[in-house]
Amino acid sequence: MSKHFRISEKQFYVKHLKTDSDGDFVFQLSPCPFLLVDNRCSIYEIRPDACRDYPHTDGTDFRKRIPLTKKNTAVCPAVFEIISKLEQELEGQF
């Protein structure tokens, strides 16, 4: 992404990233600073792998990721919509 913006990796980190409690790089702002007003990604073609896989609902054993997914509903409009729709569809089934 730094190449796309024609800045050094260090400059990109200082401007956009921080290290979270797990030691992972995450955006300083939430929701993502590259999210447009209509919730589309402004850097979709060059988005990082973590974004390509996000919200990680298609991997094996999704049940292990439920707490993280629930947490992500507070910061990601797309995850909020997915979980809201799942709740509506599953309502009354259990």
**Between 14 and 87, where is the model more confident?**
14
The Cα–Cα gap between 12 and 36 comes to 19
Same domain, residue pair 62 and 36? no
Same domain, residue pair 29 and 43? yes
Give the per-residue pLDDT at 13. Answer: 94
Same domain, residue pair 68 and 44? no
Same domain, residue pair 39 and 65? no
**Between 88 and 64, where is the model more confident?**
88
Same domain, residue pair 13 and 26? yes
CB 79 within 8 A of CB 72: yes
State mean pLDDT over 89-94.
79
The number of domains in the chain is: 2
pLDDT tens for each residue of 3-45: 999 999 999 999 999 998 888 888 898 888 898 998 889 999 9
Same domain, residue pair 31 and 68? no
Same domain, residue pair 1 and 30? yes
Query: pTM for this structure?
Result: 0.63
The Cα–Cα gap between 64 and 42 comes to 30
Q: Domain residues for 42?
A: 1-53
Same domain, residue pair 64 and 42? no
Same domain, residue pair 62 and 45? no
CB 77 within 8 A of CB 31: yes
Give the per-residue pLDDT at 94. Answer: 65
Same domain, residue pair 75 and 37? no
pLDDT tens for each residue of 35-52: 899 888 999 999 988 888
